Amino acid sequence: MPKSYWVSAYRTVSDPEKLAAYNTLAAAAVKAGGGRALVRGGRVIAHDAGIAERTVLIEFDSFEQAVAARESAAYQEALSVLSDGVQRDFRIVEGID
């Protein structure tokens, strides 16, 4: 079974305090959902139409696990705290075997 990933590319961060509060809640929700952070911020070089902003990559053992973690009450609470504090592109993608 292929692993799956949350991929988040942050276009803008308009409220760092909301992002910090989200990070605390989201980290706990991800861990509870079986996710492992592979990339959380750090250095970025963007090419083509990319934007050199915060990027996050979380690994899950399956697509279903990744979707369930996103839909969990704990992660929904994190999203409510984040609200309009950022603009980001969030995707759940299935890896290859």
What is the distance of C-alpha 64 from the center of its chain? 16
Count the Cβ atoms, other than its own, within 10 Å of residue 15: 15
Q: Quickly state the pLDDT bin for 11 (edges 50, 70, 90).
A: very high
Q: Quickly state the pLDDT bin for 97 (edges 50, 70, 90).
A: confident
How far is 43 from 64, CA to CA, in rounded Å? 30
Say whether pTM exceeds 0.95: no
Tell which wins on pLDDT, 44 or 5.
5
pLDDT in tens, 17-48: 999 999 999 999 999 999 999 999 889 898 99
CATH of 4-94, one of 3.30.110.70, 3.10.620.30, 3.30.365.10, 3.30.70.100: 3.30.70.100
Residue whose structure tokens are 């990319």: 50
How far is 32 from 86, CA to CA, in rounded Å? 24
Q: What is the predicted pLDDT for the residue at 4?
A: 98
Q: Is 75 strand, coil or helix?
A: helix
Q: What is the predicted pLDDT for the residue at 51?
A: 84
**Amino acid, single-letter form, for residue 54:** R
How far is 48 from 62, CA to CA, in rounded Å? 30
